[in-house]
Amino acid sequence: MSMDKKKQVILSLKNISQSFVVKDEVKPAVENVSLDVYDNEFLVVLGPGHCGKTVLMNVIAGIEKPIEGQIFLKGEEIHGNDRRIGMVFQSLNLMPWRTVMGNVEFGLELAGMEKKKRRAIAQKYIDLVRLTGFEHSYPHELSGGMKQRVGIARAYTNNPEILIMDEPFGALDAQTRYAMEEEVLRIWKEEKRTVIFVTNNIEEAVFLADRVILLSNCPAKVKQVYDLSPLGRPRDLMDPEFLRFRTEISDNTDLAL
Amino acid sequence: MSEEYKVKVEHLTKYFGDLHVLDDVSFNIKKGEFLCVVGPTGCGKTTFLNLLTRIYMPTRGELYIDGEPADPKRHNLSVVFQEPSAMPWLTVEKNLRFGMEIKKLPKEEIDRRVENMIKLLGLEEFRDRYPHQLSVSTAQRIIIGRAFAMQPDLLLMDEPYGQMDIKLRFYLEDEVIRLWKEMGTTVVFITHNIEEAVYLAERVLILTNKPAKIREEVKVDLPRPRKVSDPEFIKIRNHVTEQIRWW
């Protein structure tokens, strides 16, 4: 194919629908979502609170099986969990009895990699997220931002081609959040991966994304796709063009009470 | 003269052991004022609220509400905490009723206020659910509704909207402004979010890093509703941001 290298599709969702059950009642959570994700792009999936974003991510990560639709990774249909897709969760689920190193190397340990080799890989990503010196600290000794760094290092260690980050900064205070947004861009530049970043924060979406997929209120449908490449990088939160994008997306976002 | 100020803070100093958190802080809050307090992470903003509500006692200095030493048992104040603090064994509706029942308000009045809050905060379909069955942002709305329903004359809010999407945040920010105007409540609103502070406040109090002192007071006299992309708004937001300078 004569496609531009930068615009190569790595992941493709076709007509994905998913439901969940509350009190014997089936509720649609995701409705007929189709989208392409490009290789090495920073894609942000934006939607109001509890609109079905996490359900959609769980489907991509193979944690949930969709009731309808197909997922293609590099042109091949995938079913269920695939090692090439990694995830950073909103609630990190770090193991409190394991050190930073113990948490980061866990996936490789499960995969049966010998200690010296897996330590070297884990150390590389601990350094990447700038936690050097905290290898032997336990999660309860770390701040919220540092815990998120552990989560990112852990996901990178498994060397995924696609990294899903599901509202990783939702529980951080605004200042730590701004700092972590810059960090995640730095990490992404240094170790390019395809990132699918989920958030309900419009400012965060406009700051991070190459493209924004705006979802509707529950059930999640693709409402609009925004190309933010005209903004260039690095971006200034108070630049008029930045604020114009923010307002445009904000006006088009559903209010979810 | 004590009538003019809702809250007076005089030489407030707090140590936790060797940790010096607040350093000789003095300021006043006018009756009916909307004050936002911003400052770097961990600078002591929450400690200040915890002193005002007597969860902690000051090391030195004193806080006065209506000219008397602060006392949550005597003064009509409500607090919205940062962490989800809905009572897990009560449904949404019972959470909303709880404080008013303690204060022994007439049943009809409780019913009226609860229905109003349920409508206002879009909690109708969750009325009989328990907090653990709700998303974080929905659970937080119970806390906000619970505080508003008390119709306090001093409302203390500690980063109440941190978990919410921006559309919902603006909606609830407008709501708090509406209630503030309608009821003449004095509001102290603590936030990390500078845009939120400039959107809400009549006056923004900027604290320094620990041990916290007042770095600057910024008056915000922009007309409401405010627009976050308005150049004047951005000027103030930039100024406050520079004063905090966390990077």
Q: Which residues pair with B7 in a beta bridge?
A: B29, B65
Task: For residue A233, give its domain range.
Answer: 8-77+194-257
CATH number of the domain encompassing residue A63: 3.40.50.300
Residue A57 has pLDDT above 50, yes or no: yes
Nearest C-alpha of chain A: how many angstroms from B196?
A: 10
Q: In chain B, what residues touch A257 (CB-CB under 8 Å)?
A: 121-122, 168, 171
DSSP H or E stretch at residue A111: none
Does the pLDDT at position A1 exceed 50? no
**Per-residue model confidence (pLDDT) at position B1:** 46
**CB count in 10 Å sphere of residue A166:** 21
Structure token pair of residue A217: 């209120």
Query: 3-class DSSP state for residue B218?
Result: strand
On average, the pLDDT of chain B sits at 89
Residue A21 contacts B where some CB pair is shorter than 8 Å:
no
Whether residues B169 and B206 share a domain: the answer is yes
pLDDT at A22 over 80: no
Written as one letter, the residue type at A231 is L
Condensed to tens digits (0 to 9), the pLDDT of residues B200-227 reads: 999 999 999 888 999 999 999 999 999 9
Question: Does a structural domain hold residue B83?
Answer: no
Q: How many structural domains compose chain B?
A: 2
Residue range A160-207, pLDDT digits in tens? 999 999 999 887 877 888 889 999 999 999 999 999 999 989 999 999
Domain final residue, candidates B133, B151, B169: B151
Nearest CB to A173: which of B41, B165, B247?
A: B41
Band of residue A15 on the pLDDT scale cut at 50, 70, 90: very high
In our burial notation (b when 16+ CB lie closer than 10 A, e otherwise), range B138-163 reads: bbbbbbbbbbbbbbbbbbbbbbbbbb
Domain boundary (B151, B175, B196) is at B151
B243 CB near a chain A CB, below 8 Å? no
Residue A44 lies in a domain: yes
Of A49, A243, A247, the CB nearest to B135: A49
CA distance A86 to B19: 41
Chain A interface includes B47 (CB < 8 A):
no
Does A55 map to a domain? yes
Examine the domain organization and report whether B36 and B111 are in the same domain.
no
Dist CA A85 CA A164 (whole Å): 7
- Looking at the fold, whether B159 and B237 belong to one and the same domain comes out as yes
* A175 to B244: CB separation less than 8 angstroms, yes or no: yes
pLDDT digits (tens, 9 = 90+) for B20-53: 999 999 999 999 999 999 988 778 888 888 898 8
- Residues B72 and B188 placed together within one structural domain of the fold: yes
- Give A58's pLDDT tier (boundaries 50, 70, 90): very high
Longest Cα–Cα distance in chain B: 53
**Shortest distance, CA A104 to any CA of chain B (angstroms):** 27
A110 at B interface, C-beta within 8 A: no
Residue A252 lies in a domain: yes
| Domain assignment of residue A175, yes or no | no
Q: Do B40 and A175 touch (CB under 8 A)?
A: yes
Residue percentage of chain A with pLDDT more than 90: 75
Pair B160, B72 in one domain: yes
Query: Cβ A49–B164 below 8 Å, yes or no?
Result: yes
Query: Is residue A14 one of the residues assigned to a domain?
Result: yes
Q: B138 vs A50: CB contact, 8 Å cut-off?
A: yes
C-alpha distances (whole Å) from B146 to each of B94, B104, B141 are 10, 15, 8
Q: What are the tens digits of pLDDT across the range B86-117?
A: 999 999 999 999 999 998 999 999 999 999 99
Q: Which residues on A lie below 8 Å from B192 (Cβ)? A: 173-175
| Residues of chain B above pLDDT 90, percent | 58
Residue B107 located in a structural domain: yes
Residue B81 is assigned to a structural domain of this protein: no
Q: Measure A63 CA to nearest chain B CA, in Å.
A: 20
In this model, does residue B3 exceed pLDDT 90?
no
> Which of A146, A182, A200 is the mutation pick for testing B, counting most B CBs within 10 A?
A200
Q: Answer whether residue B233 is part of any domain.
A: yes
Nearest beta carbon to residue A253 from set B121, B164, B167:
B167
Say which of B122, B195, B244 has its CB closest to residue A257. B122
Quote the minimal CA–CA distance from A84 to chain B in Å. Answer: 30
Residues B9 and B127 in one domain: no
Domain range holding B106?
89-151
Q: What is the average pLDDT across A132-147?
A: 91
> B41 and A254 in contact by Cβ < 8 A?
no
Contact B135, A54 (CB under 8 A): no
Any domain includes B51: yes
Percent of chain B with pLDDT over 70: 98
In a shared domain, residues B72 and B169:
yes
Quick check: is A111 in a domain? Answer: no
Nearest of A12, A60, A43, A38 to residue A198 by alpha carbon: A43
B212 and B110 belong to one structural domain: no
Specify if A29 maps to a domain. Answer: yes
Q: For chain B, positions 113-132, list CB contacts with chain A under 8 A.
A: 121-122
CB-CB neighbors (< 8 A) of B164 in chain A? 49, 200
- B92, B79, B63, B90: which is closest to B5 by C-alpha? B63
Residue B62 lies in a domain: yes
Residue A179 lies in a domain: no
Most distant CA atoms of chain A, gap in Å = 53
For chain A, the domain total comes to 1
- Among the candidates B100, B130, B151, a domain finishes at B151
Give the pLDDT score at A110: 93
Question: B161 and B58 share a domain?
Answer: yes
Q: Is pLDDT of B179 > 60?
A: yes
CB-CB neighbors (< 8 A) of B166 in chain A? 200-203, 250, 253
Contact yes or no for B165 and A250 at CB 8 A: no
Task: Judge whether B82 lies within some domain.
Answer: no
pLDDT at A3 over 70: no
**Smallest Cα distance from A242 to chain B, Å:** 10
Are B62 and B180 in a shared domain?
A: yes
Residue A2 has pLDDT above 50, yes or no: no
- B70 and B185 share one domain: yes
Segment A62-118, tens digit of pLDDT: 999 999 999 999 999 999 889 999 999 877 789 999 999 999 999 999 999 999 999
Provide the CATH number for the domain around residue B21.
3.40.50.300
The pLDDT assigned to B247 comes to 40
Residue of B151, B214, B154, B190 lying closest to B36 (CA atoms): B190
Within-domain flag for B176: yes
Which is nearest to B187 in space by CA: B30, B2, B26, B12? B30
Q: How far is A107 from chain B (nearest CA, A)?
A: 29
Instruction: Return residues 154-213 of B near A (CB < 8 Å).
Output: 159, 162-168, 171, 191-195
Contact, A223 vs A251, CB < 8 A? no
Q: How far apart are CA A58 and CA A125, in angstroms?
A: 24
**Average pLDDT across chain A, whole number:** 91
* C-beta neighbour count of A7 within 10 angstroms: 10
What CA–CA distances, in Å, run from B56 to A248, B8, B50, B99?
45, 17, 6, 22
- Which has the closest alpha carbon to B171: A154, A82, A256, A139? A256
Residues B72 and B104 in one domain: no
- Establish whether the linkage from the previous residue to B160 is cis, with ω within 30° of 0: no
Beta-bridge mates of residue A195:
A42, A163
